[in-house]
Structure 1
Amino acid sequence: MSDRIHLWMRHEARPTERRAPLTPEDAARLVGAGVRITVEESQQRAFPLAAYAAAGCATAPTASWHEQAPDTAHVLGLKELPSGPDAPALRHRHIYFAHAYKGQAGAGALLSRFTAGGGALLDLEYLTDEAGRRVAAFGYWAGYVGAALAVLHHRGALTTPLRPTDRASLDALLASGGTAGDPTTALVVGALGRSGRGACDALERAGLAPTRWDLPETRSLDRAALLAHDLMVNTVLTTTPVAPFLAKADLDDPARRLSVLSDVTCDVTSDCNVLPVYDETTTWTEPVRTLRAEAPRLDLIAIDNLPSLLPVEASTAFSAELAPHLARLGGRDGVWDRALTTYRTAAEAQEAPLDH
């Protein structure tokens, strides 16, 4: 049996997912380094299948990985796998954002599919270096788009349904809608991280000077100051429960000025959710949900695949970070060892009997 790395990049089941974890340019470099790559056909992916074929990748029909991918292949994707009562056990090693380690809805059923099939989850969110820093992330573009949508909605310029675009077009919208001396105040929580930096850049492109909060401000959070802003963009990602930044009672504070809440993190249903004021994400078709209709009105934007609205830019940046690690699959990169250990720990906890 050959020990050559085989990546199988699947079509994304979510209709609004336009990104790719690997671009044709980076795929060509991996193929040149000896990696075997199969790419499924996808009509919605921002990069055409022909570009991957030209890069030296094999091609396969849409959603064929379960039946056709060899057991030794690593199945590469981004968002959720098809699920449901008839969803098969998972025998491959899957690389994607599974959202299965923080008590999210459906996490137990997903982990059981892996243990039943003998496969493993190498979650993209948990690919970290020795210092615990993520090695590849869409955070910057998630923050950028999340803040941009908040501004456009606040200005009455957000059109629906949302459609993929490019940065130049989005920046033109942000720059054209402002006015001199715009009094709008905006707060970014988690401003020093990837997502926070993206959110701050988008707000500045829109002509706003964001208030920037990070760990010192959230350790002793000034909720009155938070509520005094017009816009809030949450970019905080935590792996352990912390005190919520907002509770439902805060939304009824008569002094609240906050009118648009953009939750980039979208940890809804998780014990780590810092904004337990809603229980369902919003969508491209209905990107805004009203949390309080009475004055002052409060609207929520909570889309969990924001970077897909800038699919080419987001994919290009992410692929550049991920590709070097994909070249070292198979035990030659501690990033993958740590991800596998994280999966095994979660799977064992899932299977362990409860103490009585």
Structure 2
Amino acid sequence: MTLHLWLRHEPRTTERRTPVVPADARRLVDGGVTLTVEESPQRIFPLEEYEAAGCRRAPTGSWAGAPRDAVIIGLKELPDSPGELMHRHICFGHAYKRQPGAAGLLRRFAAGGGALLDLEYLVDDEGRRVAAFGFWAGYLGAALAVLQHRGRLTAPLVPTTKEELDAVLRHGARDARSTALVIGALGRSGRGAVAAFRTAGTEPTRWDLAETRDLDRPALLGHDVLVNAVLATAPVPPFLREEDLDAPARRLRTLCDVTCDVGSPFNVLPLYDRTTDWAEPVRRLREEPPLDLIAIDNLPSLLPRESSTDFSAALLPQLLAFGPGGAWGRCLDRYHQACRELGIEQRETGT
């Protein structure tokens, strides 16, 4: 059966990215995939480029009425309706680590007979994610932290290009004397954060598993800027606690949590109860001495063209090989496992 992909509009007004860019849409169509693309006023690539690649056009938000065998593909959260989800959805569901609203989302899939194919759990034979925005999340997280620490971050945030962002980061780098720490420095997000700090003229301290097994909190608090790029998959002792923020020797002034695992028991920075956003990117956690938090959960959308192009290129081979086995089979198994863990009855669903 021919695969019918349905690229949906993202309801979040600050989401400019797409999981499939027009150049890769052309490769999918040439490979025999039917691709329907919804109208979207904010997607970084205009719909006309998809039509030129051989894609079908559909109204914004019309995916709920798509043929049942269509596979709906997007990035971030689904709207609250319909209450029953009958399609297979490829997206980041944020539903497998007991996040707020997770059970409700999975019950919607169970009620409609659909399935969540969560991009975070699309992995190869060795358990490595095959497509991720991590590098750009880390890059943007460190960049915003640098600009905030230098007093040069302005709100609301607006999407830009890497060239424009790098020019801002390099400006004043010669006079910068701050110290920075990246936790999770060997992962995708960590490598992106390190790259952004270097662009800004700062060589960061880099910690990963070896340094976090026996955490040196005084050393952590002795840096001016901290970027957390650790995505925990099991509960671990937090890197920072409320009492640490009041430590007399705290030098830390700017904290960026790239992971944004707020509400999850796996959160390594349980210091806040809500994320920040483009309109208000910074939250003050302490007044004296000041400590500012940046916790934006769609950072790569600030560089929508670059991040979408990289992600789409990594996802393309998986979409061309879409089927019941391999990475997609593992993805579906993880969905069923999540339903079982919550006691949700799930109809048998195949890819």
Matched, 1:80 2:77: yes
Q: Superposed, which structure 2 residues align to 1:252-263 within 5 Å?
A: 252-263=246-257
Match of 1:322 in 2: 315
Residues 327-350 of structure 1, C-alpha deviations (whole Å, 9 max, x = no match): 11122x410000000000111222
User: How many aligned positions are there?
Assistant: 345
> What fraction of aligned residue pairs are identical, expressed as a percent?
63
Report if the CA contact (8 A) 1:111-1:350 is conserved: no
Q: How many angstroms does 1:241 deviate by?
A: 1.0
Match of 1:13 in 2: 11
Match of 2:333 in 1: 341
Partner-residue secondary structure (3-state), 2:77: coil
Task: Using structure 2 for the length normalisation, give the TM-score.
Answer: 0.97
Match of 1:175 in 2: 170
CA distance, structure 2, for counterparts of residue 338 and residue 158 of structure 1: 41
Q: Superposed, which structure 2 residues align to 1:132-211 within 5 Å?
A: 132-180=127-175, 182-211=176-205
Letter in 2 for 1:82: P
Structure 2 unaligned residues grouped into runs of 5+: 346-351
Residues 120-167 of structure 1, C-alpha deviations (whole Å, 9 max, x = no match): 000000001111110000000000000000000101111110000000
Letter in 2 for 1:341: D
Match of 2:284 in 1: 290
CA distance, structure 2, for counterparts of residue 173 and residue 124 of structure 1: 32
Partner-residue secondary structure (3-state), 1:179: helix
CA distance, structure 2, for counterparts of residue 344 and residue 269 of structure 1: 22
CA distance, structure 2, for counterparts of residue 183 and residue 349 of structure 1: 49
CA distance, structure 1, for counterparts of residue 108 and residue 173 of structure 2: 50
Q: Superposed, which structure 2 residues align to 1:61-80 within 5 Å?
A: 61-67=59-65, 69-80=66-77
Report if the CA contact (8 A) 1:5-1:330 is conserved: no
Match of 2:26 in 1: 28
Structure 1 unaligned residues grouped into runs of 5+: none
CA distance, structure 1, for counterparts of residue 266 and residue 257 of structure 2: 13
Report if the CA contact (8 A) 2:159-2:304 is conserved: yes
Q: 1:246 aligns with which of 193, 215, 240?
A: 240
For the aligned residue pairs, the C-alpha RMSD in angstroms reads: 1.0
Partner-residue secondary structure (3-state), 2:250: coil
Report if the CA contact (8 A) 2:87-2:113 is conserved: yes
Partner-residue secondary structure (3-state), 1:351: coil
Report if the CA contact (8 A) 2:323-2:329 is conserved: no
Q: How many angstroms does 1:352 deviate by?
A: 5.5
Residues 196-242 of structure 1, C-alpha deviations (whole Å, 9 max, x = no match): 00000000000001000000001111000000000000000111111
